Amino acid sequence: MADIEEIKSRLNIVDVLSEYIRVEKAGSNHRALCPFHNEKSPSFMISEEKQFWHCFGCQKSGDIFSFVMEMEGLEFKEALKMLAEKAGVELKDYNPKKTEEKNRTLEILELATKFYEIQLWKGAGKEKILGYLRERGLKDETIRDFRLGYAPRGWRNMQSFLVARGYGLDEIKKTGLLVTQIKNSTCYDRFRDRIMFPIADSNGKIVGYSARVAPGGDESQAKYVNTPETEVYHKSKILYGIDKAKSEIKKNRFVLLVEGNMDVIAASQSGIKNTVAVSGTALTEDQIGILKRYTDTIKMFFDMDTAGQMATKKSLKLCFSQDVSVWVVDLPFGKDAADLAKDNPEELVRSVENSILAMEYIFEKNFSRYDSKSVDGKRKIVKEVMDVLVHVASDIERSHWMKKLSQDLDVPESALTDILKKANLKDRIEQNGESVAEEIVPKSKIEFMEEELIGLLLVSKEAWKKFLSSHASFLDDNFFPKDGLFQKLISKGAEAEFDFLKFCQLVTPEEKSRAEKIYFEKKYRLDLNNNPEEVIISSPVSELEKIMREIRKEKTKESLSRITHDLKAAEEKKDREKILLLRQEFKKNQDELIKLQ
């Protein structure tokens, strides 16, 4: 905690964020176009006084650490280390042993990559493997740039190489380079007679490999073998080529997402350097999250075979649900990016430029596949289109495609709307089980007022103190929800000296993030010119009493509703004693409600 505060004291949030986005002064604060979602008017606000940021558009908020994590695709510890170096702070709270272990893992992987490179250029792969890569259309400079290599035949080449350089078997195992035999616990090389594609994180550090069977090699084995999950390699969070592509993605304002490593390399060689590929897995939410740090536009270029089509559809659904603008590069059957880059690189560039909106692609594919004039054809088209359309997050975009589908099929839009609602509910139930019922129920008035109360306490010391002295007794009779953040406001208020920033240091990262969001929404709003302005609460104590009165009213209404239900049941059973007690309780609550109103 001391390290974090020391870094914050040395780095001004406006200076840090200005390295990534264009920031302008707006009253006592600063504003910018949000880098995390598309917008024409700036709704991204930076508070220099509080040293954190908030976007009124996408509702994201945080401090310098969360911003750098989002923009650079880093874990917290990596962002901490990066900002510590920038601030000139020597980290005291860092776990030196764990850091050393991770550094050793990265060191081994870097050394292994050099070993594979030498085997390709000067060793066993010099003739056959280099020749194969050149036949695939790759230039020597491209091969070097992506650091391709060759793992020679043999069971212990890498193991012997690393042990001879002072690395122990236990630390080599952590890299994923070795396989341990269960029977006798002996180890052997995971990658043998394979073309090696090193996989780097967004900072260019090698974290794993994708290894293709060498031409003429053992085809009975898997065509590609990837590094297993390790401390540094998490395939759901890795995108092949992101280290080389990230600056080009920002520059071109879109990313080309392809299926394989060779597609990335070939596209990059053709001039499309803003290209990445999923790494041995289907596209994931984490990978989309990484891409959204650099752009909100994805152009998808998967193989046109059946498997490629299925992968495209699945990925489109995920992109739509994450509110990404997604386009599809459509090519004749049997072609992929690597093939086209080899045969006609200009055509590859042209195809990417002529990509079409994903929903247009879905419409074209299904209208060409089924008869839009027949009842059966209409039904099949609606089923296929709705299967994707249900995932579109934008209401405006969904409405546009619904209208188009209605016109193209000559079917009433109201009928399609009903189908979409059913498809939406079905999809959410399948994904979330019974929890979907909670998702589709809007916040009750009492939940809204309780969040208003939390916001008021966070922005006003006066209201916070007054609440604890005048209303905290209600906590004993379940008057307030068991909300973790709210409970911390009560228990940590005095310790934090009723100060928002000090309070944020006493809670969990999740609670801190929620507190910052609620604070911003209560403290600021956008004026007619889209400038952030402070909301002035003339009398915080009066505001507190008003909120408390509204909460009491809603609680009393809930109690009356419950008593009415119990009274009806008692009358049906003719339980006179219970009826009398419930009527007395009903009268008491009714009088209380009249008094509050």
Instruction: Summarize pLDDT for 524-534 with one digit per residue, the tens.
Output: 776 656 666 77
Q: How far apart are CA 564 and CA 559, in angstroms?
A: 9
218, 233, 248 — which closes off a domain? 233
My answer on whether 108 and 187 are in the same domain is yes
Distances (CA, A) of 479 to 473, 485, 488, 586: 9, 16, 16, 18
381 and 505 inside one domain: no
- What's residue 332's pLDDT? 58
pLDDT for res 1 = 55
- The number of folded domains in the chain is 5
- Domain co-membership, 100 together with 138: yes
Let me know whether 187 and 219 are in one domain: yes
Q: Are residues 293 and 155 in the same domain?
A: no
Q: What is the mean pLDDT of the chain?
A: 84
Bridge-based pairing state of the strands 224-226 and 206-213 = antiparallel
- Pairwise CA distance, residues 365 & 316, whole Å: 14
- Residue labelled with tokens 């009779």: 477
- pTM check: above 0.85: no
530-566 as b/e: b if 16+ CB within 10 A:
eebbeeebeebbebbeebbebbbbbbbeebbeebeeb
Residue type, 466: K
Co-location of 404 and 420 in the same domain: yes
- Provide the pLDDT for residue 4: 82
The answer to whether residue 560 scores a pLDDT higher than 60 is: yes
Beta bridge partners of 255: 298
As to burial, measured by CB atoms within 10 angstroms (0-12 exposed, 13-18 middle, 19+ buried), residue 594 is exposed
13, HSE (Cβ side, Cα atoms, 13 Å):
22
Identify the domain containing residue 585 by its residue range: 445-593
Sign of the C-alpha dihedral, residues 427, 432, 433, 436? negative
pLDDT digits (tens, 9 = 90+) for 233-262: 988 889 999 999 988 998 898 999 998 899
The amino acid present at 569, given as its one-letter code, is A
73 pLDDT exceeds 90? no
Quote the strand ranges of 485-593, DSSP E.
524-526, 532-534
Contacts with 354 (C-beta within 8 Å, 6 or more apart), sequence order: none
Highest-confidence segment of 156-165, 397-406, 437-446: 156-165
Separation of alpha carbons 296 and 303, rounded Å: 23
453 and 493, same domain (yes or no): yes
d(CA 388, CA 538): 50
* Same-domain pairing of 435 and 449: no
Same domain, 82 and 102: no
Which of 396, 411, 440 marks a domain boundary?
A: 440
User: DSSP per residue over 323-378, as a string?
Assistant: T-EEEE----TT--HHHHHHH-HHHHHHHHHT-EEHHHHHHHHHHHHS-TTSHHHH
Closest CA to 519 of 541, 506, 535: 535
Locate tokens 């409600």: which residue? 593
What sign results for the dihedral spanned by CA atoms 422, 425, 431, 434?
A: negative
User: Of the segments 156-160, 305-309, 411-415, which one has the largest average pLDDT value?
Assistant: 156-160
The per-residue pLDDT for 423 is 67
Asked whether residue 303 falls in the same domain as residue 373, the answer is: no
- Residue 437: pLDDT band (50, 70, 90) is very low
Pairing of strands 275-278, 255-258: parallel
Stretch 43-65: mean pLDDT: 87
Q: In this predicted structure, what is the pLDDT of residue 265?
A: 95
Res 526: pLDDT: 66
Q: Helix, strand or coil for residue 69?
A: helix
Q: Where are the beta strands (DSSP E) in 202-245?
A: 206-213, 224-226, 239-240
Same domain, residue pair 187 and 109: yes
Give the domain-ending residue among 354, 387, 407. 354
Adjacent-strand bridge partners of 357: 327
Q: Are residues 172 and 57 in the same domain?
A: no
CATH number at residue 70: 3.90.580.10
